[in-house]
């Protein structure tokens, strides 16, 4: 039995293009194999620990091979629980609206929590950094108000490049991207863009099932 972890980062819910397309992926994924599980994380209802001094200190204790203090150990325990849920999946789906040319701050917070030494990556003086999330496909559904295909516009895209970089850093190699763009257009054109994105998402879902 395979588990898909779906990470939803838009607060707009039924008005979100990224969620609408992600739902098409999930429907196709579950229809292809009803025995697969889908674990959904709504980042707007998930309580995440603050990245405070104790948590940052706990991270660097690990990087330097030192023991945690009692308060650092407690802070790290909270991170371990969130990272364990992330690591328990066999494949991944993200729905991501573009905010100010990048990703929502809730998603950045979640990424900062799970991207930790010993949990999703390792570090040694001999090997350097090494991703631990290997052999698992991920599909990313991007919604963007504008069109970022041109060279000039692509220079303003800090959404897909960041996600590709950070996911690659923790070990992902099979990264599939679906773009919904532009969404700031007339209703007919927007409906066509969403329909095309759904077709691509369903194709990736079928390959993942």
Q: Is 101 left (phi over 0), alpha (psi -120 to 50) or beta?
A: left
Distance CA 145, CA 29 (A): 27
The secondary structure of residue 117, as a DSSP letter, is: B
Compute the average pLDDT of residues 123-142. 95
Phi, psi of 57 (to 5 degrees): -60, -40
Distance CA 106, CA 69 (A): 28
pLDDT of amino acid 33: 86
Strand partners, 97: 143
Q: Kindly indicate the confidence band of residue 72, based on its pLDDT and cuts at 50, 70 and 90.
A: very high
3-state secondary structure of 200: helix
Distance CA 206, CA 204 (A): 5
Q: What is the CA radius of gyration of the chain?
A: 18
Domain regions of the chain by residue span: 3-208
Q: Where are the alpha helices (DSSP H) in the chain?
A: 17-32, 53-63, 70-87, 105-114, 151-154, 160-169, 187-208
Computed over every residue of the chain, the mean pLDDT equals 96
- pLDDT by residue (tens digit) across 73-112? 999 999 999 999 999 999 999 999 999 999 999 999 999 9
Compute the average pLDDT of residues 166-180. 98
Q: Kindly indicate the confidence band of residue 206, based on its pLDDT and cuts at 50, 70 and 90.
A: confident
pLDDT at 64 over 70: yes
Q: Tell me which of 2.170.190.11, 3.40.50.360, 3.40.1370.10, 3.30.1330.10 is the CATH number of domain 3-208.
A: 3.40.50.360
Tell me the whole-structure pTM to 2 decimals. 0.95
Q: Is 43 left (phi over 0), alpha (psi -120 to 50) or beta?
A: alpha
pLDDT of amino acid 209: 64
Task: Output the 3-class SS for 20-40.
Answer: HHHHHHHHHHHHHCCCCEEEE
CB atoms within 10 A of CB 67: 8
Burial class, 195, CB count within 10 angstroms (exposed 0-12 / middle 13-18 / buried 19+): exposed
């Amino acid at each position: 039995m395979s588990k898909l972890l779906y990470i939803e980062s838009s607060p707009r819910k039924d008005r979100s293009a990224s969620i609408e397309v992600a739902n098409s992926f999930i429907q196709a994924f579950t229809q292809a194999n009803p025995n697969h599980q889908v674990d959904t994380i709504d980042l707007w209802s998930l309580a995440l620990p603050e990245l405070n001094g104790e948590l940052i200190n706990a991270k660097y204790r690990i990087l330097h091979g030192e023991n945690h203090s009692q308060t650092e150990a407690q802070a790290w325990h909270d991170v371990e629980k969130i990272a364990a849920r992330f690591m328990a999946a066999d494949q991944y789906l993200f729905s991501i609206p573009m905010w100010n040319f990048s990703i929502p701050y809730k998603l950045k917070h979640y990424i900062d929590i799970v991207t930790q030494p010993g949990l999703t990556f390792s570090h040694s003086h001999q090997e350097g950094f090494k991703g631990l999330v290997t052999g698992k496909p991920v599909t990313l559904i991007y919604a963007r108000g504008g069109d970022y295909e041109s060279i000039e516009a692509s220079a303003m895209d800090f959404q897909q490049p960041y996600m590709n970089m950070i996911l690659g850093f923790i070990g992902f190699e099979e990264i599939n991207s679906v773009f919904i763009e532009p969404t700031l257009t007339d209703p007919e054109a927007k409906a066509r863009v969403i329909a095309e994105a759904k077709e691509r998402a369903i194709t990736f879902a079928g390959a993942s099932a």
